[in-house]
Every structure is written in C-alpha cells, then in structure tokens.
Amino acid sequence: MESSKLKNIILLILLVTNALLLGLRVFQQVESHQRRQQALADAVELLEGRGISVSVQDIPDGDFPQPMTLTRDEAWELEQFTGLLGQDTTVAQRGLVSLYTGSLGSAEVRVDGGVTVTFSENAYPVAQGQDLAVHAQDLTRRLGFSAQLTGQKATSKGQELTLVQLCGDRPVFSCVLRVEYEDGQARAIRGTRLVGQPTADGSQGQSLSMATLLVRFRQGIIDSGDACTAIHAAAQGYMLSADASGGLRLTPVLRLETDTNPYIVNALTGEFSRG
C-alpha cells in the first residue's frame, strides 16, 4: 500500500476516534445534567411536601465556587488605607488591632477583617446631585472592596448604604460594609472586609450537590422549628470564618431568602444556620 494512502487511512481513523470521544463526552455531560436536574426536582418535591414552595428555575444550576484561604497582607493593607485616609497615613498596633491615622480620618482594623473608619470633617463630601451609591462604592473600592449595593435607608442623622463584598463575582455574605452619611458627607464606614488575597484551598473538600443542600435545608427547618412556606431566591457565595489556628477561610455556601428569614447552608458540610 502506498504511504500516502496509509497516512490518509490513519488520519481518517484518528478523526473518527476523536469524533467518537467528543460524542461520548457530550453524552456524558448531557446525562450528568439530566441526573442533576432530576435530583433537584426530587428535592423540590420534598420541600413542597413540607409546605415550602420553590421554583426549580430560581435555584442556581452552576458549580459552587472553590474554598479559599486568606493570609493577611499588612503592606497591601497599609496601601489601601493610605489611599482612603491620605498619603500621610501611619499605622500602629494595639494588641490584635491595627490603628491607621491620616489627614482624612482614622481606622481600626481587627485581624478577622472587622473595620471601623471615622472620617475627618469634609474629607469626603458628596457633590450636588451625585448618586450616593456611586460615592459609597468609590470609598469601598479604595479599600480593595469590590462590592454590590444591597440596601439604603434613612437614619436619624442621614443615610446609610449597605454593600456586600465580592470575591471574583461571588458575594461574601458575611463581609458587609455600612457607609454612613450625614450633612452631605461620608462620616464613617463600619463592618467586615477581606484581608489579603484569597487563594484556592482544595484541602477543605468538595461541595455537596445542590439537591443535597436543599434536603439539608429542609431538615434544618424541621430541627429548628422555624416557620417557612416559600423560598423566594437562592444564591451561591461565601462566608468568611476563622479556623482553629486563627487562619481565615472562605467557605462556599448556599444562601436562601425565604418568606420568614434568610438561611445559610454550608456547601461543604450541609450545616444549616440563619443567615
């Protein structure tokens, strides 16, 4: 047989093999998706049997984010607070609290990410007609805090805006900053933020399936004795916590908004809690 014909036959065999492998992969993905959807439908049926209504379309279908760990970066932190409080910002330690002081204000930062910022008079005035949400997001961005606005309310002194931090495009439900306004200027920021840069940590384990988490939620409602008749929204994200050694970690979770309370289900363990 001529070498050119042999080469063509080999190429044809390779093409057919690749096509078969691609077809098998697509079939497996479709089959896996169908199994997930059936398990999800079964979990929804269990919830409805408990008197908790929910639409399958309101449940996220994607994978949960990876677990993360955080290592505090003091140089990065000083850079962020210098950007917020002024180039003359200095830092001092008082136990586990870092104290930042600059011409535009001062800040107390705990090792767990808790922060309280108090601004000097007229440090950050709001321009006439400026959207407060844009102003607040600019302030939090100076702290390396990519955020989405979740609330705004009037207070006895002015306005308070609430922002939740994002890690990538996922909300960190326990990292919330409240920006307080009074007399047309920002007065304070209070809440919790991430310290350092997150890195993936596979040692924490793999997330459970969405169907399993919904079943754990149902059992949590039963065990707690809480009243709940509907799930209005579901979102995947993170919770920030400290481990036994004091290290910080981001744990993937499912947050469910119901007709009574928000709830958190730990995606790694299925642990249930109010959120």
The tens digit of pLDDT for each residue in 93-130 reads 998 899 999 999 999 999 888 999 999 999 999 999 89
Residue linked to tokens 């990292």: 175
Tally of structural domains, the chain: 2
**In the 8-state DSSP scheme, what is residue 275?**
-
Contact assessment for residue 235 and residue 264, using Cβ atoms and an 8 Å cutoff:
no
Confidence of residue 31 (pLDDT cuts 50, 70, 90): low
Statement to judge: residues 77 and 46 lie in one domain: no
Q: Which of 151, 177, 196 is the last residue of a domain?
A: 196
Same domain, 159 and 106: yes
CATH code, domain carrying 80: 3.30.310
Instruction: Kindly state the average pLDDT of the residues 172-180.
Output: 96
**C-alpha span between 131 and 147 (Å, rounded):** 16
Beta bridge partners of 170: 167
The mean-pLDDT minimum among 5-14, 78-87, 205-214, 233-242 falls in 5-14
Q: What are phi and psi of 78, to 5 degrees?
A: -60, -40
Residue 123 sits in the same domain as residue 191: yes
Could you give the 3-state DSSP secondary structure of residue 143?
Answer: coil
231 and 275 Cβ atoms separated by less than 8 Å = no
Looking at the fold, whether 77 and 187 belong to one and the same domain comes out as yes
| Same-domain check for residues 78 and 171 | yes
**128 and 243 co-located in one domain:** no
Q: What is the pLDDT of residues 192-209, one digit of tens each?
A: 998 888 888 888 889 999
Residue at which a domain ends, from 179, 196, 213: 196
76 and 90 share one domain: yes
Residues 114, 163, single domain; the answer is yes
One-letter amino acid for residue 150 of the chain: T
Domain that holds residue 127: 72-196
How far is 164 from 239, CA to CA, in rounded Å? 11
Least confident of 17-21, 23-27, 77-81: 23-27
Q: Where residue 11 sits, what CATH number does that domain have?
A: 2.40.128
Choosing from 138, 172, 196, the residue where a domain stops is: 196
Tokens of 136: 């607040």
Cα–Cα distance for residue pair 193/196, rounded to 1 Å = 10
pLDDT at 78 over 90: yes
User: 79 with 146, same domain?
Assistant: yes
Predicted TM-score (pTM) of the model is 0.82
Question: Do 83 and 180 fall within a single domain?
Answer: yes
The Cα-based distances of 252 to 18, 110, 200, 205, 264 in angstroms read 36, 23, 11, 11, 10
Residue 252 contacts residue 69 (beta carbons within 8 Å): no
The whole-angstrom distance between residue 119's C-alpha and the CA centroid of its chain comes to 27
Do 112 and 57 fall into the same domain?
no
Same domain, 118 and 135: yes
